[in-house]
Homo-oligomer: A and B are copies of this chain.
Amino acid sequence: MLYWIPANQNIKNFNKHSAVDLIRFASNGVSRTELAEQMGLTRAALTMIVTDLLENGVILEAESRAIPNGRPPVVLEINPKGGLVAAVDMGATHLNIALADFSAKIIGEKYLPLDIKQGPQSCLAEVNRGLRELLAEHNINLSQLMAVGVGVPGPVITDAGMVVSPPIMPGWDSFPIRDNLQKEWGCSISLNNDAELGALGEWAYGAGRGEQNLAFIKVGSGIGAGLIINQQIYGGTTGSAGEIGHITVDENGPLCTCGNHGCLEAFAGGNAIALQAKKMVASGKRTLLSSIPTENLTAQEVGKAARRGDLPSQEIIMRAGTFIGIAIAGLVNLFNPGAVIIGGGVALSGDLLTTSIRQAVRERSLRAPKQGVHITTAMLGRRSSLMGATVQAVNIAIHDLIEKKHPVYRDILAPEK
């Protein structure tokens, strides 16, 4: 569940929040009776809770489900038209913005270039412009947005709504990102790390559905991990959990941008892969990559060549996979997650990487955790983080609705007549 309550918070509407989350993430819909069993309440109690949620427009009754005997249960579902949210996924070089309904279905999407190094003022202005354009394209007013989930490629302190000592976001340190956007858009904002959101997205609607604990490995130009523990994002004590990219995999390895030697990222990140390819081409080795101008030689091109059967490119990818596998084996030994999901630009370019990762993990992990853990590719492709941001936004919107912090915007999306 997303809505856990620690002992130091009040438990007002706790069961309403639980119920709506169970409904949201149920794979085949769920009835009042099933909810009652799962929540340890009586059916009578669920009748009242569900009535309230129905009146708020948060959920709706779908058609009944056929059962062998007795009265068929009424299946409850989230009401997609219960409200509208936005999701923003900022990468090092891209910006992905989406509008979504309460069922996390994306209504409109925009993919733009972005240079995170331009700093917060410039980038957030770009984000603002992008979102307003997207809203205009769909004839939606900003005031109809109930919440926005935002992802950034750096360590986030969620409570503070800012990043701290980010390695690749110069100028962003301690900039009040959330407060800034909140002021600009006038609705609740949730700020998270992009790998965290990837993990959440895959947990909610991707390859990690139903898992209690999972790790999402984002292999892009750098390498980061997002962790779901007890069905919740785990960000660590100071927001920098999941820094798998800077684990030492070889004491005597090359210098990394972080100042240490032999970091995973220096072996297997997109930048490292491109660098290796360039060196290979320069050495005069016979490869498909020779035809590509050096300045365009990216990890993506290496992946493409590998899929076309270029052996030297395959070797580079597989070597990267082996190093990632070593790091994941360590993660599996420490965390014992139910699933490890490989995502990010580099990972999505083919099965070769995943295969070699899987093999490396198999060779190095202890028996018990290895038996349980599934290593798979991200189901949501390049939208893992965007979906995670959507999930966070819907979280806020729905739970605000339950707490009556929001006017009820029922059927704002093309209401039936």
Contact = CB atoms under 8 A, between A and B. Distances in A.
Interface of A: 1, 3-11, 14-15, 17-18, 21-22, 38-41, 155, 164-165, 167, 211-213, 225, 227, 229-231, 234-244, 246-248, 250-251, 258, 260, 326-327, 329-331, 333-338, 363-364, 366-369, 371-373
A275 B417 CA distance: 81
Given A236-B369, A243-B369, A334-B225, A22 B8 contact: yes
Q: How many copies are assembled?
A: 2
A17 to B, nearest CB: 7
B6 A329 contact: no
Contacts of A329: 247-248
A8 B39 contact: yes
B364 A248 contact: yes
Contact of A9 (B40, B155, B167): B40
Given A241-B335, A246-B366, A250-B251, A22 B39 contact: no
A230 B334 contact: no
Contacts of A227: 334
A211 B238 CA distance: 12
Given A4-B4, A229-B229, A368 B10 contact: no
A21, A242, A331, A336, most chain B CB atoms within 10 A: A336
B11 A336 contact: no
B247 A39 contact: no
A79 B63 CA distance: 55
A371 B237 CA distance: 11
Contacts of A41: 10
A181 to B, nearest CB: 23
Contacts of A367: 165, 258
Contacts of A18: 7-8
B10 A3 contact: no
15 contacts: A3-B7, A4-B4, A5-B5, A7-B18, A8-B22, A10-B41, A236-B336, A237-B337, A241-B335, A242-B334, A243-B333, A243-B369, A248-B364, A258-B367, A334-B335
Nearest to A329: B248
Contacts of A230: 6, 229-230, 234
Nearest to A212: B237
Q: Which 3 interchain pairs have the tightest Cβ spacing?
A: A236-B336, A10-B40, A7-B18
Contacts of A372: 237-238
Contacts of A237: 211-213, 336-338, 369, 372-373
Given A11-B14, A338-B237, A330 B5 contact: no
A87 to B, nearest CB: 24
Contacts of A38: 8
B1 A4 contact: no
A368 B167 CA distance: 10
Contact of A368 (B40, B238, B327, B333): B238
Given A8-B39, A230-B230, A330 B368 contact: no
A8 to B, nearest CB: 5
Contacts of A40: 8-10
A142 B112 CA distance: 70
Nearest to A327: B330
